[in-house]
Amino acid sequence: MSCAMAQAADVPDQLVSFGDLAERDVFLEVSINGANTSQLLRFRDAQGRLSASADALRSIGIDVPGPDGAAGRP
């Protein structure tokens, strides 16, 4: 077997396989309008749709309405 064929055989089809998980938590580095916040936030990945808690978003300065609908920090 040639070196090129051996290397090609070592390359996986996917970098990471999570199987058939419908939902999982992922930690992603966050940037806002192209500015890096240098923070990691926990997001919920539900079949390709990402969501984060209001508290997580507030921690990086995003104004999230409180439970009563009022804007700003509770």
pLDDT for 10 beyond 90: no
Beta strands in 8-74, from DSSP E residues, in sequence order? 23-32, 35-46, 49-51
For the chain, first and last CA: distance in Å? 65
DSSP, collapsed to helix, strand or coil, labels residue 58 as: helix
pLDDT category of residue 5 using cuts at 50, 70 and 90: low
How confident is the model over 14-63, as pLDDT tens digits?
A: 556 566 667 899 999 999 999 999 999 999 999 889 999 999 999 999 99
Give the pLDDT confidence score for residue 22 in this predicted structure: 77
